[in-house]
Structures are given as C-alpha cells and as structure tokens.
Chain A
Amino acid sequence: MTEALLHVDAIETFYGPIQAIRGVSLEVAPHQIVTVLGANGAGKTTVLRTVSGILDPEAGKVVFEGKDIAHMAPDQVMRMGICHVPEGREVFPFLTVRENLMMGSYTRRDSDGIAKDLALCFRYFPRLEERQHQRAGLLSGGEQQMLAISRALMGKPKLLLLDEPSLGLSPILVQQIFEIIRRINQEQGVAILLVEQNAHIALKTADYGYVLEVGRIVAEDHCATLLGRDDIKEFYLGQKEAGVRGQRRWKKRRLWN
C-alpha cells in the first residue's frame, strides 16, 4: 500500500468500563474503498466513531494525512475532510431536504463549489431533487439514506465514513446505493471506509477488507481473496459446502489466528 490517507494504529476504545475495541489497526489509501465486516457488536460502528472523534480512544493513534486526530473534537475532524454517514441515517427530520444538504456544507464558504456539489448530488440521486422542499422526516428509508450520503458529500470529503448504508433497505435499493457509492469513489476520487453487515455486497464493492470480531481484527486481505476464502464464505456469506456442515465453529475460527 502506498502512503495511507488514514492510518488507524492499535486503537482501544471504551464505553465506560466496557472495552469495545481491543487494538484495531487499519489503513485506507487515497481513492480506495476499504470495508470492515463483522457481526453485531463486533465493534464496527465504534471504529468509525473513534475515527470521527465522537469517541476518544484510550490508547493508539488515528492519523489522517500525517496528523494525529485521535483526540480532536468531531467538528474539527470533519473540517479536516472526514465526513461521516452515521448508522440509521440521522437526517434532520424537520429541515427540508435542501436545508439538510446545505447543513452538509456548513463549514464551506465557496458558494460556487457548493452549488456545483449540490448539482452533483442531484445527479447521483435525482429523487432528492424532486423532493428537495419536503421535510426530510417524511422521506422513505432509502431516500433518507441517499440524503445522508449526499449530505456528507456536500462537505467535500477526502474520506467518507459509511456506517451500514444497507440497513433496512430492500435488496434492489441496496444494489443501487452501492453502485452509486462505487461511482462516487471512482468519479470523485473520494476514499471510503465502509462498515457493513451485508458482507457479500461490501466485498463486491470494496478493494480491501478487514474482518472484525469482538473488538479485534481477525482477518484482512484484498476483497477478491476474502470472497474466495472458505471461512469467510461460511460465516459471512452464508455459503456452506457439502461436508463442511458438521464442523464446529471454533475450529474454523482458529484458521484466522
């Protein structure tokens, strides 16, 4: 990997007395899509929250463009160029779609650039243009997800953090959203750190993947390789080959360490 855009080095994060992250390290190169897979409670969201400054790690470093941002306030992290699309969308329900998008560009002063990016978001998601004067709380789940992604794009990020964009969406909509995520990455050159439970689509979309289990990275590789691995297939893609059925889970787990 060449010079990393984001370098997370052995972070440990706690919720009160409970340790959610037990020394996670990962890297995101410029223009790359990196995914973090894992089951419920593995600590995926916590990794993103630690990067974006909502949580501070007790140990370890978060380095973005050569600068340690581990203990910065979340609004400062955003000003560095990291935009976070939180789990569950978190749009501003009483603001209109357009106002939501303008909030995404709150830190910017270049009105020409803002207008250009607004047009760009409407090009990726024409539905948002149709509904731009509606309150965001009245949008469907899929539209709210489109809004949340667009709102983050309005901040002109160098790195986009996506937390479970497939949550609660129909399979067709998931396909469409991931296609656009891919396009945003290719056309705008935005690096993406993607957290997903839907391992199949995440591995198809991303370049490089990490597997997180109870706060630790247990596997990492190029997505194409991960897609071909038996253990990944069984535990995250739900594909079982004949004969593997009877094997106990802990035996498979051992392969990772």
Chain B
Amino acid sequence: MEDAARLLQLVVNGAAAGCIYGLIALGFVLIYKATEMVNFAQGDIMMLGGFVAYSAIAHWGVNYWVGGLIAIAATAAFGYALDAIVLRRVIGQPQFAVVMLTLGLGFIFRAAAGITWGYDSVGFDTPFTNKTVKLGGLILGDDNLSIIAGTVLLCGVLYLFFAKTRLGVAMQASSQNQLAAYYMGIPVRNVFSMIWAISAGVAAVAGILLSPVSMIDVNMGFLGIKAFAAAVIGGFGSIPGSVIGGVFVGIVEQLAGYYLPAGFQEVTSNIVLLGMLFIRPQGLFAERMGKRV
C-alpha cells in the first residue's frame, strides 16, 4: 500500500514536470508545423516570460493573475515581433541557418535577462506555493496540481481555437499548403507571426506555472533540451503528441530518480529518446497521411 502510494506520488510529480516539457514542446511543434523552422530559443522564451511575470508580481506588486496575463501578453507580442523582424528573413534559407540563428538568439536572451534581472534565482508568491492537498494517503503539492490543471486547460483552449475559429483553421491551412493559403487571400506571413506569438505565449504560461516549483533563473531555458526530446517522442508535428511525450518523459525521469542510482535522472530523457528513435523513429503520433507536395 505504501509503495503504491509512493508510486502514485512520483507519477503525479513526474506528470507535472512533464507538463512543462510538454508545453515547451508544444511551442516547438507549432512553429515547426507552420514554418518548418525549429526554434531552439523556445526554452529561453519561457525564461523571459517567467522574468516578466516576476517583475510584474514581485516589483510592481500586481496580483498573480493579472501579472501572469501581462507576462503572457508581453511574451506573445515579443514572439510576434521576433518572427516579423528576424525569423521571417531566413525563410527559404537552409535549415542549418535557422538552427544557428535561434541558438544565437537563445544566447542573446540569456545575456539580456542576466543584465536586466541579474544572475540570481528569483521567485514570486503564487496562490499555489507551499500548499498541499491530502488525498487518501497521498500528499500532493498545489503547485504540481496547478501545473497539470493549467496544461490541460491551455490544451483545451488551443484545441478549440485551432478547430473552431476562422483564424485557427486558417493557421492549419497555412501550414498545410502555404501557396494555396495565399490564393485564399490569407495573409500567410502575418498568420505565421501569430503562430510565433501563440507559441511564445504558451512558453510564458510554462514559465509562470513552473515558478512555484523551481525558481526562475537565467539558465532555466535549458529545460528546452528535454522538451525537444519530448517533441521528438511525440512525433514532432503532432500537438497532442508533444504534450503526451512531455508527460511521458517527466514520469520516466521521476521514477528513474527514485529507483535508479543518482545521476540517472538527468540522462533518462535522452535514453528514452534514443530508445524511441530505435523502435519507432516516426514518434508516437506521426501524422498518418504524408504531406502532399
């Protein structure tokens, strides 16, 4: 009984960490599906979102929810501008140029954040910090539960947006056939910039949700590497796949941290990724129909 409860606890904690990976992976996938660019600065955009929320909540003294919304909106606007001003220029260049550019942007963001907010870890009060819920024999942190709930909610909102709204369907259309989208009068470039905005906004949500669990600091963007594994496991191109891949990585990591010798926790995401590439290289949720060229 004790063991079962412990296992469940680990799974919940792992799922919470995995949701964060999943949200960052979601950002990777959204941008990749639309523009076929891989944004290696995704984790650093999450870091920026976290710092903006910290500024709003801890310095300007606004309420957690308002501060969160400000951070999401500001980061989304930043994402839009990033595409409109910088990334749009490298469309059509070799994939390698995009990789170098986004890696470089990540360095710039880390440096800029260090100069602006300092290199120390910071945190702010949230309604979920240091609170727990008792469920039977289980003790679950509100912070972890808020991450899971927030992720589920956000995925629901995104699903409705992409499936039901005109702009959401136009985003799908633009990523499926860019030329035809132009023929329909869809302003494809702006639509792509809006996808960058959504993906940056999602990253900001991840940063805010993560803040009660781990402090915000300049290097938190390196979580993006694990999220990248999650995206590949999910099939790199599948939105539900990216979140499920993230949760999978998170849970395996927690279990490995508890049951395996020290040091394994950090490498499990990559071991899982390698295993996945051997067994099912197309990922868990690869699109069944090929893209028509």
Contacts and interface: CB of A to CB of B under 8 A. Distances in A.
A103 B179 CA distance: 13
B288 to A, nearest CB: 10
B133 interface: no
Interface string B152-195: 00000000000000100110110011011111111110000000
B269 to A, nearest CB: 29
A231 interface: no
A91 B180 contact: yes
B289 interface: yes
Contacts of A83: 183
B292 interface: yes
A90 B169 contact: no
A49 B27 CA distance: 34
Given A102-B169, A103-B173, A137 B292 contact: yes
A137 B289 contact: yes
Contacts of A84: 183
B172 A94 contact: yes
A75 B187 contact: yes
Contact of B182 (A74, A99, A100, A104): A74
A54 interface: yes
Contact of B186 (A54, A75, A90): A75
Given A93-B176, A94-B176, A95-B176, A54 B292 contact: no
A94 B169 contact: no
B181 A103 contact: yes
Given A54-B179, A103-B181, A137-B289, A92 B186 contact: no
Given A90-B177, A93-B289, A94-B176, A78 B183 contact: yes
A95 B172 contact: yes
Interface string A100-111: 101110110000
Which of B182, B184, B287, B291 has most A Cβ within 10 Å? Answer: B184
A155 B184 contact: yes
B177 A92 contact: yes
Contacts of A100: 173
| Interface size range of chain A in the complex | 20 to 34
B185 A78 contact: yes
Contact of B173 (A74, A92, A107): A92
A9 to B, nearest CB: 23
Contacts of A151: 184
A94 B289 contact: yes
Contacts of A155: 184-185
Given A86-B180, A102-B169, A107 B289 contact: no
A79 interface: yes
A196 to B, nearest CB: 19
B179 A90 contact: yes
Nearest to B167: A106
B231 to A, nearest CB: 19
A145 interface: no
Contacts of B183: 52, 74, 78, 83-84, 86, 90, 152
Nearest to B188: A75
Contacts of B179: 54, 86, 90
A52 to B, nearest CB: 7
Contacts of B172: 92, 94-95
A64 to B, nearest CB: 14
A118 to B, nearest CB: 14
Interface in B234-293: 287, 289, 291-292
Nearest to A151: B184
Interface string A148-170: 00011001000000000000000
Interface of B: 166, 169-170, 172-173, 176-177, 179-188, 287, 289, 291-292
13 contacts: A54-B182, A75-B184, A78-B184, A86-B179, A91-B177, A92-B180, A92-B181, A94-B176, A103-B169, A103-B170, A106-B185, A107-B184, A151-B184
